[in-house]
Structure 1
Protein backbone atom coordinates (compact mmCIF):
# COMPACT_ATOMS: atom_id res chain seq x y z
CA UNK A 1 0.00 0.00 0.00
CA UNK A 2 1.13 3.54 -0.53
CA UNK A 3 2.73 5.66 2.20
CA UNK A 4 -0.24 8.02 1.92
CA UNK A 5 -2.66 5.26 2.94
CA UNK A 6 -0.44 4.23 5.85
CA UNK A 7 -0.12 7.85 6.97
CA UNK A 8 -3.86 8.31 7.40
CA UNK A 9 -4.01 5.15 9.50
CA UNK A 10 -6.12 2.85 7.37
CA UNK A 11 -6.12 -0.85 8.18
CA UNK A 12 -4.15 -1.93 5.12
CA UNK A 13 -4.15 -5.61 6.10
CA UNK A 14 -7.95 -5.55 6.21
CA UNK A 15 -8.08 -3.78 2.85
CA UNK A 16 -5.71 -6.31 1.28
CA UNK A 17 -7.74 -9.21 2.69
CA UNK A 18 -10.95 -7.71 1.26
CA UNK A 19 -9.35 -7.29 -2.16
CA UNK A 20 -8.08 -10.89 -2.11
CA UNK A 21 -11.60 -12.11 -1.25
CA UNK A 22 -13.01 -10.03 -4.11
CA UNK A 23 -10.56 -11.59 -6.57
CA UNK A 24 -11.48 -15.11 -5.44
CA UNK A 25 -15.20 -14.34 -5.68
CA UNK A 26 -14.88 -12.76 -9.14
CA UNK A 27 -13.00 -15.82 -10.39
CA UNK A 28 -15.59 -18.18 -8.87
CA UNK A 29 -18.48 -16.30 -10.46
CA UNK A 30 -16.71 -16.20 -13.83
CA UNK A 31 -16.16 -19.97 -13.71
CA UNK A 32 -19.78 -20.62 -12.71
CA UNK A 33 -21.24 -18.39 -15.42
CA UNK A 34 -18.71 -19.08 -18.17
CA UNK A 35 -17.81 -15.40 -18.49
CA UNK A 36 -14.29 -13.99 -18.89
CA UNK A 37 -12.34 -12.20 -16.20
CA UNK A 38 -11.64 -8.62 -17.22
CA UNK A 39 -8.88 -6.67 -15.50
CA UNK A 40 -6.17 -4.08 -15.97
CA UNK A 41 -2.62 -5.30 -16.64
CA UNK A 42 0.40 -3.40 -17.88
CA UNK A 43 -1.69 -0.42 -18.96
CA UNK A 44 -4.24 -2.46 -20.92
CA UNK A 45 -7.63 -4.04 -20.35
CA UNK A 46 -7.24 -7.82 -20.45
CA UNK A 47 -10.01 -10.39 -20.96
CA UNK A 48 -9.17 -13.98 -20.02
CA UNK A 49 -11.28 -17.11 -19.77
CA UNK A 50 -11.15 -18.11 -16.08
CA UNK A 51 -10.12 -21.65 -17.04
CA UNK A 52 -6.84 -20.22 -18.36
CA UNK A 53 -5.79 -18.95 -14.95
CA UNK A 54 -4.87 -20.82 -11.83
CA UNK A 55 -6.13 -19.28 -8.57
CA UNK A 56 -2.63 -18.07 -7.62
CA UNK A 57 -2.02 -16.52 -11.05
CA UNK A 58 -5.22 -14.49 -10.91
CA UNK A 59 -4.32 -12.92 -7.59
CA UNK A 60 -0.74 -12.06 -8.44
CA UNK A 61 -1.58 -10.72 -11.91
CA UNK A 62 -4.60 -8.67 -10.93
CA UNK A 63 -3.50 -7.48 -7.53
CA UNK A 64 0.26 -7.59 -7.04
CA UNK A 65 1.11 -8.09 -3.40
CA UNK A 66 -2.31 -9.44 -2.49
CA UNK A 67 -2.25 -12.99 -1.18
CA UNK A 68 -4.83 -15.36 0.17
Structure 2
Protein backbone atom coordinates (compact mmCIF):
# COMPACT_ATOMS: atom_id res chain seq x y z
CA UNK A 1 0.00 0.00 0.00
CA UNK A 2 1.45 3.38 -0.98
CA UNK A 3 1.16 6.74 0.78
CA UNK A 4 -1.84 7.77 -1.32
CA UNK A 5 -3.74 4.60 -0.51
CA UNK A 6 -3.02 5.03 3.20
CA UNK A 7 -4.19 8.65 3.13
CA UNK A 8 -7.40 7.59 1.39
CA UNK A 9 -8.01 4.76 3.85
CA UNK A 10 -7.52 6.98 6.90
CA UNK A 11 -9.54 9.80 5.32
CA UNK A 12 -12.48 7.45 4.75
CA UNK A 13 -12.14 6.03 8.29
CA UNK A 14 -12.51 9.63 9.50
CA UNK A 15 -15.64 10.12 7.37
CA UNK A 16 -14.07 12.85 5.24
CA UNK A 17 -14.51 13.52 1.55
CA UNK A 18 -11.55 14.65 -0.52
CA UNK A 19 -13.15 18.06 -0.80
CA UNK A 20 -13.66 18.41 2.96
CA UNK A 21 -10.10 17.36 3.74
CA UNK A 22 -8.60 19.58 1.04
CA UNK A 23 -10.53 22.58 2.34
CA UNK A 24 -8.80 22.12 5.69
CA UNK A 25 -5.34 21.87 4.11
CA UNK A 26 -3.12 24.01 1.88
CA UNK A 27 -3.98 21.82 -1.15
CA UNK A 28 -6.76 21.57 -3.69
CA UNK A 29 -9.14 18.64 -3.99
CA UNK A 30 -7.58 17.85 -7.37
CA UNK A 31 -4.08 17.70 -5.91
CA UNK A 32 -5.29 15.49 -3.05
CA UNK A 33 -6.93 13.19 -5.59
CA UNK A 34 -3.65 12.93 -7.49
CA UNK A 35 -1.81 12.04 -4.28
CA UNK A 36 -4.38 9.36 -3.40
CA UNK A 37 -4.19 7.91 -6.90
CA UNK A 38 -0.39 7.76 -6.88
CA UNK A 39 0.02 10.36 -9.61
CA UNK A 40 1.82 12.86 -7.36
CA UNK A 41 3.97 12.55 -4.29
CA UNK A 42 3.27 15.07 -1.54
CA UNK A 43 6.00 17.26 -0.12
CA UNK A 44 7.02 16.63 3.48
CA UNK A 45 5.15 19.79 4.51
CA UNK A 46 1.96 18.65 2.79
CA UNK A 47 2.29 15.14 4.17
CA UNK A 48 2.77 16.59 7.66
CA UNK A 49 -0.35 18.74 7.30
CA UNK A 50 -2.39 15.76 6.09
CA UNK A 51 -1.12 13.55 8.92
CA UNK A 52 -1.92 16.18 11.56
CA UNK A 53 -5.45 16.66 10.22
CA UNK A 54 -6.03 12.90 10.12
CA UNK A 55 -4.54 12.48 13.63
CA UNK A 56 -1.85 10.03 12.52
CA UNK A 57 1.93 10.17 12.41
CA UNK A 58 3.73 10.86 9.13
CA UNK A 59 5.64 7.63 9.74
CA UNK A 60 2.36 5.70 9.81
CA UNK A 61 1.53 6.98 6.33
CA UNK A 62 5.00 6.17 5.01
CA UNK A 63 5.56 2.64 6.33
CA UNK A 64 4.87 -0.36 4.17
CA UNK A 65 1.68 -2.30 4.78
Question: TM-score scaled by structure 1?
Answer: 0.29
Question: TM-score scaled by structure 2?
Answer: 0.30
Greater relative CO (CA pairs within 8 A, separation 6+): 2
Could you say which structure has the higher helix fraction? 2
Could you say which structure has the higher strand fraction? 1
